[in-house]
């Protein structure tokens, strides 16, 4: 069992991959550009959708895109709210190194702003267990929405 936390520092082009349960940390360079918009430029809007019923509804937009790099091919669908572009969910289907993969992500308890900036500070054990290059797949180094 593991619990992984990723910290992306765009100021230093550094990413930390932290296994919270094993208390290990991998630090690697990242060359991902900061996505300042809500939806990536290469995403295509598929349709609008209403979640809920009656007076308890949420208007969302559904987008689709493809991630293809190295030995990764993923079809990704994601949804955001219509008015403020708040992320609702993501679904990933495809293969990584010829292994089929399905991943579903839901976003909950989102608030505007950053309540606790310390979430971006790597834990103390991370400074002691740094490796040069992280041995993980590029999918972990890819973000759809700017979260």
What element of type H or E holds 88?
A: strand 87-96
d(CA 62, CA 78): 6
Contact 79, 62 (CB under 8 A): yes
pLDDT of residue 132: 53
- Band (134; pLDDT cuts 50, 70, 90): very low
Who has greater pLDDT, 60 or 131? 60
State yes or no: pLDDT of 40 exceeds 90: no
pLDDT exceeding 70 applies to what percent of the chain? Answer: 82
Who has greater pLDDT, 38 or 76? 76
Q: Which of 17-26, 35-44, 73-82, 136-145 has the lowest mean pLDDT?
A: 136-145
State yes or no: pLDDT of 12 exceeds 80: yes
pLDDT of residue 51: 93
Q: Where are the alpha helices (DSSP H) in 43-105?
A: none
Picking from 96, 91, 105, 87, the residue whose alpha carbon sits closest to that of residue 68 is: 96
pLDDT of residue 136: 46
pLDDT 10s digits, 71-102? 889 999 999 999 888 999 999 999 988 899 99
State yes or no: pLDDT of 145 exceeds 70: no
In the chain, where are the structural domains located?
4-141
Residue-averaged pLDDT of the chain = 82
Contact 46, 79 (CB under 8 A): no
Which of 65-69's residues contact partners 24+ apart within 8 Å by CB, and which partners?
65/40, 65/144, 67/94, 67/139, 67/142, 69/138
State yes or no: pLDDT of 146 exceeds 50: no
d(CA 95, CA 93): 7
Picking from 71, 64, 60, the residue whose alpha carbon sits closest to that of residue 45 is: 64
pLDDT of residue 131: 55
pLDDT 10s digits, 101-114? 999 988 888 887 88
CB neighbours of residue 130 within 10 Å: 14
């Amino acid at each position: 069992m593991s619990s992984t936390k990723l910290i992306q520092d765009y100021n230093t082009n550094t990413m930390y991959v932290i296994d919270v349960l094993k208390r290990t940390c991998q630090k690697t360079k990242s060359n991902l550009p900061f996505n300042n918009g809500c939806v990536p430029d290469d995403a295509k809007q598929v349709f609008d959708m209403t979640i809920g019923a009656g007076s308890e509804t949420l208007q969302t937009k559904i987008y689709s895109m493809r991630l293809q790099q190295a030995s990764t091919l993923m079809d990704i669908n994601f949804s955001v709210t219509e008015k403020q572009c708040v992320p609702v969910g993501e679904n990933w289907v495809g293969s990584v190194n010829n292994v089929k993969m399905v991943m579903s992500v839901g976003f909950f308890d989102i608030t505007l702003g950053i309540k606790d900036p310390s979430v971006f500070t790597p834990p103390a054990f991370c400074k002691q267990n740094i490796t040069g290059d992280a041995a993980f797949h590029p999918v972990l180094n890819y973000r759809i929405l700017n979260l």
